[in-house]
Every structure is written in C-alpha cells, then in structure tokens.
Structure 1
Amino acid sequence: MTRFIFITGGVVSSLGKGLAGAALASLLQARGYKVRLRKLDPYINVDPGTMNPYEHGECYVTDDGAETDLDLGHYERFTGVPSKQSDNVTTGRIYQTVIRKERRGDYLGGTVQVIPHITNAIKEFATADLEDEDFVLVEIGGTVGDIESLPFLEAIRQLGYELRDNAIFVHLTLVPYIAAAGELKTKPTQHSVKELRSIGIQPNILLCRSEQPIPPGQRRKIGLFCNVPEEAVIQALDVRSIYEVPLSYHKEGFDVEVLKAFHIEDAPDPDLSKWEDIMDRVVHPEGEVNIAVVGKYIELQDAYKSLTESLVHGGIANRVKVNIKWLESSIFDDEEITPASKFDSIHAILVPGGFGERGAEGKIKAAQYAREHNIPYFGICYGMQMAVIEGCRNLANMPNAGTSEFGSYDPNVVGLMTEWTRGNKTETRSEDGDLGGTMRLGAYPCDLLEGTQVREIYGQDHIQERHRHRFEVNIAYRDVLEKVGYKFSGLSPHGDLPEIVELVDHPWFIGVQFHPELKSKPFDPHPLFSSFIEAALNKSRLV
C-alpha cells in the first residue's frame, strides 16, 4: 500500500517546502524505499510556461514535455526519479479539467461546485499514475491562510481521512529569532498550526526553520500548544549547502519520526555515504574557478536555479569551488562598458537560455570575447543561437545576420520552426498561436558525430536531452559556418535540426540547443558541466 506524506507551509513563503520534501524523499530512498514527489500549485496559470521568470523563477521541463514548477528540479536532483506531467498541477489546470467535463455534460446537468467537484479533481490528480511507490510526497504550494490554497487543503484533508493510517501531514513553519530580545518566538508557529487545525488538518510532524538552535523547552512548548509530540518537533537549521539538508534532517530525526508516524518499526538503516561524499567535496575543495553567467534575469537567481546547481555539480565532479559572477547582458549595450572590463578574472563564460531581444547584443559580445580570447564558452539554447549569429557576423561575412525572433534580418540564421516530429507524431505551430505549450518541449534524441569534442565528453553516439524553445538554427548555414571553423557536432536523427555546435580550434567552445542543466544531479553531474568546469580549471592554471 502506497503511503502519502502531505507537506504544507505556514507563517511565510519561501521556507523551503520543496527542498524539505526532496531531502526527506532522499532519506527514505536511502533506506531502500521507492519514492515519488508531487507539487500542487494554487496559482491560476495552467502552468508556469508563460510566466515571467521574475514572477515564478525557473520553469522546469520534464522528459515528457511538461512545463512545471522549479521544485520538481529539486525533486529530481535529490532522488534521481524523473518527474512527469502528472507530478505538477495548478488551480488553472484543475479548473480547466472540471470545466471541460461540465461542457461535455459529464456531470449530468448537476451544479458544479468547489466541493466535491474541484476537490475530487485534486484528489484524483494526487493519487493517479502511480505504480508500486512506497511513499508519495505531495507538496502544497503557498502558505496556510492563503485563499487560493483552500481547495487543495480541503482535498488533502479528505484524503487524510480516506487513507487513514496511510497518510500523514508535515507542516513547515518559521521560528524567528528576535535579536533585540535575544529570543526565539514560537507564536507564529502556534498560529499557523491553529489555522491548519481550523480546517481539519492536524499535523503529525512540525518542521521548524530557525537561524538558532531551538532549546528543548521551546520545542516542548511548541509541541504542547500544537498537539504534536515533542520529538516530532524537528528543528531545521541553516546549513552550508542545500546538499547537507538530508544529513541535517537525519541528524535531527526527521525520517525516524516519519516512519514512526506510519508505525514502521523494521525499516533498514539509511545509507548516506553518497551525501557524505558530496558534502566532503563541497566543504573541502582543492581549487576554485570563476564563471561568468551572462543572463537576462539575474536579479532573481531562482530564474536560473537548475543552471546554478549544475555548475555546483560540475565543481563537485572536479572537487573545486565554483564562484559565479552574474552579469546582466544588457550592460554591454553601453559602449563604455567593454567585455574585457567584466571578464578580467573570469575562467569561463556561460550564456544561458532566454526569450526576446533585450540583452541579445550583450550575449553576442560575450560569445565573441570568449572566442577571440580562448576562454571556455558554454552557450545553452539562446546562448547557442547568439554564438552562431556572432560567428556568421564576424567570421562568415554576414554582418547583418540575426534571428526572426527579433524581426527580419538579412539573413535570419535562426528562425521559427513550425513543424517537427515527436516519436511517430508530427507537431505543428503557427507564429500567431498561443504561447503556452507551443515550443519544442521535453526529451528529444540527438546523434553525436565521431571525432568531435562532445562525442568524447558524452562517451556515446546517441543522447536524449530536454528542450524548451521556439526557434532553431537554420541547417542551411551549416556549410558556411563549418568553413570558418565551426562544427555541427550534434544533429537530430533526421539531420535537419542542429543540436550542438562547437568551435574546432578552441579549448572549449560549445553551444547546445537543449537544456543539459535539467538532467544534472549532485551524485551524477551532467558530463557537459563536468567538462566545462574542468576546462575552466585548466584556464585558471594558465592565468
């Protein structure tokens, strides 16, 4: 029988419910259990695909092409379990599903209401598409008390009643430290649990975020007022790295209390050796490298969450500390700011994905500087396209080259792709169609050419990587670019879509149309990021 763990949050947002769920899942996994993680998001958008990164951070893409919440990235990075379309749902998608049923007459003319129709749809989502998982961890987005969360909280209340001994509730709260008084305050947690209990949910375990250790007396007080055993009041202190969270939670007995709540007494001891090795590499690096990330959304670094973590993973693989220098690409629009002034102490340059014209010329200048100064360059999606445009302009005698994403150029070496194949199905889109779900999304195959750098990095001929884009480099310019030193080293199986471009006479200059950061993990770093950080390390030794 599958057991469900429902994770809610209170007091304030951004306490780390997704990270808590991912860490707990990894602890259960370390004991030999099979886990699955899901996220219920209260916002009305159907998915985060059309949301500005400043609004919601990164849009994480799964193998099956779902645009999902960034917490699913945490889930995959901590457990290695691939997320699916069925692991993330929003209020918008729930209501869309119910309204479609109503229009079809599925409710036989009955009055459609939040209870039971919306809550039933939520429950169906939370319990559907499961195999033989031992534990399913379900995170409810937002904060208890938010009006948007009420249908989701009511749904999990009902599930808790229906599943009885096979469901528990974990509530994440904040125990703030008031410096002026020199005290930790438990009242916010008490009020948050009171709010949760008012809608019929009694938490089994409290996970209390705090900057200071919570004394036993305070934990007893929290347990007494919240009707939770003292030992089930778990302190969640700040740690040196997010990859220390599983070790920290185990030390505090979080996984033990979860098993106790399910009356599981014969669980095997966890094997945490891989997390101990990861932390040893993080805490005791044998060098460091400086990476410049030239992006468009750097004011909110959650917009590049998977990218940041993948660079860390590359550092773990090479046992070095990775220092990231965030650069807003539009700063290079100012003629007085030169790339040389910003890349002086940089060992490698990464240009990530993005949309729109703002900052594009700055990314092109970054690619040019890396090419001309033999600095390792990693262009991802948009970053690959800008590198190709730069090569066309400055090496292939096409000074007006550009992309149709920004308008009409002569020539448009990057253009809107209107038709492509996914499996046995042809997918199409039009320039004036809806933005949501119209991109090439999810995992697609790529063939690597023999004798190329990427073939050596991957160590295999065929790969599958995740995509999220509307525009493609035009294969018609392959010969022109290869004559000036570029190599189209990765192609779609039919050979019509460039997936990877590399610069032949350069230490490390690679552009990829896909998003390798979406598949990197601390215990299994993506080969491109491992190689990129190694190239940066080699560059640092030459400086």
Structure 2
Amino acid sequence: MTRFIFITGGVVSSLGKGLCSAALGALLQSRGYKVRLRKLDPYLNVDPGTMSPYQHGEVYVTDDGAETDLDLGHYERFTGVPSRTSDNVTTGQIYWKVLSRERRGDYLGATVQVIPHVTDAIKEFVHADVGDEDFVICEIGGTVGDIEGLPFLEAIRQLGNELGRQRSLFVHLTLVPYIASAGELKTKPTQHSVKELLGVGIQPDMIVCRAEQPIDRDARRKMALFCNIREEAVVQALDVDSIYAVPRSYHAEGLDDEVCRHFQMEPPAPDLSTWDRVMERVRHPDGEVTIGVVGKYTSLLDSYKSLAEALTHGGIANNVRVKVKWLDAELFEREDAPAYLEDVHGILVPGGFGERGAEGKIAAANFARERQVPYFGICFGMQMAVIEAARNLAGIAGAGTTEFGPCDDPVVGLLTEWTRGNTVERRDSASDKGGTMRLGAYTAHLAQGSRIAQIYDAVEISERHRHRYEVNVNYREVLEKAGLHFAGMSPDGELPETVEVPSHPWYLGVQFHPELKSKPFDPHPLFTSFIHAAVEQSRLM
C-alpha cells in the first residue's frame, strides 16, 4: 500500500521544501522503505527549460529527457532514486493536457472548469507511474496564499479525503523568525500560515519550523495549540553546517518517528551510518583545494546547484574541502585571466547558452592548457575548449560557433539530426526553443587507453545531455593532429562526446552533464578524478 506525503510551504519562499522532502525520503529509505519523490510546480511555463537561470536557477535533466525543477536534483542526491518525467509537473503541463482533451471532445460538451477538470488532472499526476513504492512524497511549489497554487492545494485536499488518514499526511514547512531587538522567536507567522492553509480546507498533520535559534517548549506548545496539532508534531529545523547533515538533524528532532507514528508503522531504527561517514569527511578534511569556476550565471549560485554539489562530492571522495572561486567569464574579456586564476588548483567551465562571456571562457581554457592547470569543460565548456584548440593549436583563426551567428570555420554548429533509440530526432533553427534540445541519457563509446576510459574504468558509458549545438566532427582530423584527442564518440561515430589533451596532466571536455548523476555517497568518477588532479596541482604550487 502506497502512502502519500504532501509537503507545503508558508510564510516565505526559499525555506527548503525540496531539501525537507529529500531528507525525509532519505530517512524513510534508511528504515527500509521504498520511496519516490515528485514536485508540483504552480508556474505556467510548461517546464523550466526556457526560463532564465536568474529566474529559476538550474534546470535539472532526467535520464528520460525531462527538463525539471532543481529540487529533483536534491531528491536524487539524497535517495539515489532516478527521477523521471512523471516526477515533475507544472501548471502549464496540466492546462495543456486539459485543453488538449477539451479540443478532442473528451469532456463530451461539459463546461471545462478548475474543479473538477484541472484538479482531476493534478490528481492523475500524483497517482501516475506509481508502482510498489511505500511512500510517495509530493512537494507543492510556491507558498500557501499564492493565487497560482490554489488548484494544487485543492487537488491535494481532495486526495487527502479520498486516501484517508491511513494513506495521506500533510506536512507544512514554515518560518519561525527571531526578532533580535525583542530577543524572541515569533510564532505568529506560522499561525497565520496554517490559518491560510485551513482556509483552503487542509489541516496539517505536522509543522516543520525553520529557525535560526532553538525553539523552546513553550513556543512549540503554543504553535501546537493554535494550529490544532499534537505538540510532538511541531518539529524544529535548525540551520546546519552542511545540507548533508539535514537527515541526521531531522531524525534527532523526531521527524521520521512522527511520520511513522501517524501511519501506525513500527519499522526498525534508521541506519544513518552512510550520512555519518559523509559528514565526517565534510567536517574533518585532510586539506583544501581551490577550483575556479568560470561561468556566466555566477551571481545566482542556484544556477550551478548540481555542479557545486558534485565538486563537494569530489572533495568527499578525496577527503579534502573544495573551495569554489566563482568567476564571471566576462572578467576575462576585459582583463587578463592570470590575475584571477593564478591561485586556483583547477579550472572548470560549465554549461551555458549565448555569446556573453564566451571569449572569457576561451581565455580560461587557454590559461589552463598553457599553464598545465587541470581543466574540466562541461557542455559549453567543452565547446569553448575545442574552439581554443582550433585557434591556438591548429591555427584555424576563424574558428567559432554558429550559435552566435555565421563564422568562417564552424567548429561548433547547430545539431540538426541525431538518433535516440530507434528514432531519428530532427531540429532546425526555426524549431521551438522549449524541449527541442538533445535531452536525457545517451550512450558514448570511449577509446581504449584514453584518460577518460581509465577514469570510468569502462569503454561504454551513459550520461545526461542538454544542448542544442555540437562539436563539428568534420574538424576531428585536423584537431587530433594538433594534439586534441576525441576520446569519446556517439555509437554511430558522428557526435563528439569527450575531448582530452594527452600531453596535459588533466585536460578534459565532455558534452554531457556528469554533475547531474553525482551523489555524496557515490561521487561521480569525473569529479573524483578532477579533484584528485587539483590536489596534485596544489602540491606543485
């Protein structure tokens, strides 16, 4: 029997509903239960794929090619359960489905309304693609009181009635602010938030309270009294030194115990030894390395959420602390790269779109190659490394990418045709922007004896992609003669997947996004190797 846990948020946004969901999933998993996590997003976009990283942060990509909310990255990193297309839905997708049905005549002439048609579509999503999971944890995006979230709240209210208390649980995440001038924690925002939730017919079973200061018993008793729940169901969530300390912290506060009590379950105590080992390395590293990340969205670090976590995982694997130096690529278009990169032990150029900062990324790749500093180029970062090699190793002065317009030598060009399974995907410059990239998991073949094959200890890999432009395979021969080895290719040999410089201590570019599959308890081999190379570099400096 699958049980459903619905997590809502109140008072303010950015309280960490995604992290709360992920940590609760990890705790239930550590007790032997099978879990699945999904996100219901109230915004009207069909998916975040066309949204600016400054608006929405990172776009997380699943194996089956969905562009999803970054919280799905938290879900995977904490539970190891691969997310699917069916684990993220938006208002845009719901209305698209409802209106498509209306156009087909599926509603038999009925007036299409939010209730029941939209809410029924939301409930279908919650129940879809559920197998033998013991728990499905559903995070509702936004904040209670947002007008766009009302259909989702109504849908989960109905689900609560249909499933009954034995199969449903409502958790409300709120803020308990500390007013320094008064020297007090204030419970009134939580009371008002729960009152707002009650106004749409949902009585929370638990309240998780984010706070900077410990919440005393009187404050908990007060919230329990005014919010109509048991005192034990008011769980404090204090700030911790690492997100990977959250499962242990939540367990200490009784979050998973209270969930099990609600469902009248008596499982064994959780085995949190994996998280204890992770935190032991996070808190007591043997050293530190500095990685320079040269990107274009560095003013909003959520744009690189999975990347930052994967670097941390690489540090965990090598028992070192990774200090990230976030650098705006445009700096290098105005000033010399050495001024900012002399003190780093590794350089990483991540993915991105558009011309802004491109020359700065090329300058960073040039610095890394010439100064023998470990270099890791991901997606766009690989493409810029190839252009740098074409210009400065192969002597192709006009090397560029058609992403920015016509160029003399299109070393990188628009991807117009590729194979996915047994089908051929085709795109052109006039195609819609949304959902038209090469998305999801694709296989790559690695050359025997190449550095990347040694890192993976394999010659066939599967990694997640998200890109519209591709390195032009027609330049392979001239680039390889100049010293840039095409070490990984698509199975048909048409699409370059990885490049490396064999004469360099560690210089790799990959067309895919390995950061999306890294986990604290299972660091991605490329990040493990890259941080190891940075450790070696630190010993030379």
Common topology (TM > 0.5)? yes
Residue 495 in 1 paired to residue 493 in 2? yes
Structure 2 matches for 1:250-329, cutoff 5 A? 250-264=251-265, 266-329=266-329
- Counterpart of 1:147? 147
Query: What residue identity is the alignment partner of 1:315?
Result: G
Task: Give how far 1:529 is off.
Answer: 0.2
Task: Give how far 1:430 is off.
Answer: 1.3
Query: What residue identity is the alignment partner of 2:215?
Result: I
CA deviation map 1:289-315 (0-9, x unaligned) = 000000000110000000000000000
- Counterpart of 1:202? 203
- Counterpart of 1:363? 361
Distance across 1 between alignment mates of 2:178 and 2:305: 28
- Counterpart of 2:538? 540
CA deviation map 1:354-376 (0-9, x unaligned) = 00000000000000000000000
- Counterpart of 1:104? 104
Task: Give how far 1:400 is off.
Answer: 1.1
Distance across 1 between alignment mates of 2:424 and 2:504: 37
Query: What residue identity is the alignment partner of 2:366?
Result: Q
- Counterpart of 1:53? 53
Task: Give how far 1:433 is off.
Answer: 1.0
- Counterpart of 1:478? 476
CA deviation map 1:143-178 (0-9, x unaligned) = 000001000000000000000020010000000000
Distance across 1 between alignment mates of 2:409 and 2:338: 29
Query: What residue identity is the alignment partner of 1:71?
Result: D
Task: Give how far 1:417 is off.
Answer: 1.1
Query: What residue identity is the alignment partner of 2:30?
Result: A
Task: Give how far 1:268 is off.
Answer: 1.3
How many residues are paired up?
540
Structure 2 matches for 1:73-472, cutoff 5 A? 73-164=73-164, 165-264=166-265, 266-334=266-334, 337-472=335-470
Query: What residue identity is the alignment partner of 1:420?
Result: W
Task: Give how far 1:274 is off.
Answer: 0.3
Task: Give how far 1:409 is off.
Answer: 1.2
After TM superposition, the score normalised by the length of structure 1 is 0.99
Distance across 2 between alignment mates of 1:461 and 1:395: 27
- Counterpart of 1:40? 40
Distance across 2 between alignment mates of 1:461 and 1:33: 35
Percent of residue pairs bearing the same amino acid type: 69
Distance across 1 between alignment mates of 2:386 and 2:229: 59
Provide the secondary structure at the position in 1 that maps to 2:404. Answer: coil
Distance across 2 between alignment mates of 1:450 and 1:190: 63
Structure 2 matches for 1:514-533, cutoff 5 A? 514-533=512-531
Query: What residue identity is the alignment partner of 2:47?
Result: D
Q: Which runs of 4+ in 1 moved over 3 A?
A: none
CA deviation map 1:361-396 (0-9, x unaligned) = 000000000000000000000000000000000110
Distance across 2 between alignment mates of 1:106 and 1:382: 44
Distance across 2 between alignment mates of 1:328 and 1:320: 25
Please, which runs of 5 or more residues in structure 1 have no aligned partner?
Answer: none
Structure 2 matches for 1:17-28, cutoff 5 A? 17-28=17-28
CA deviation map 1:522-543 (0-9, x unaligned) = 0000000000000000000111
CA deviation map 1:438-496 (0-9, x unaligned) = 10000000011101000100001110000000000011111111111111111100111
Distance across 2 between alignment mates of 1:535 and 1:319: 13
Task: Give how far 1:105 is off.
Answer: 0.2
Task: Give how far 1:269 is off.
Answer: 1.3
Distance across 2 between alignment mates of 1:269 and 1:218: 28
Query: What residue identity is the alignment partner of 2:142?
Result: G
Distance across 1 between alignment mates of 2:66 and 2:268: 35
Provide the secondary structure at the position in 2 that maps to 1:405. Answer: helix
Task: Give how far 1:228 is off.
Answer: 1.1
Provide the secondary structure at the position in 1 that maps to 2:443. Answer: strand
CA deviation map 1:106-156 (0-9, x unaligned) = 000110000000000000001111110000000000000000100000000
After TM superposition, the score normalised by the length of structure 2 is 0.99
Query: What residue identity is the alignment partner of 2:313?
Result: H
Distance across 2 between alignment mates of 1:534 and 1:504: 17
Provide the secondary structure at the position in 2 that maps to 1:271. Answer: coil
Provide the secondary structure at the position in 2 that maps to 1:223. Answer: helix
Provide the secondary structure at the position in 1 that maps to 2:232. Answer: helix
Distance across 2 between alignment mates of 1:4 and 1:167: 5
Distance across 1 between alignment mates of 2:200 and 2:355: 48
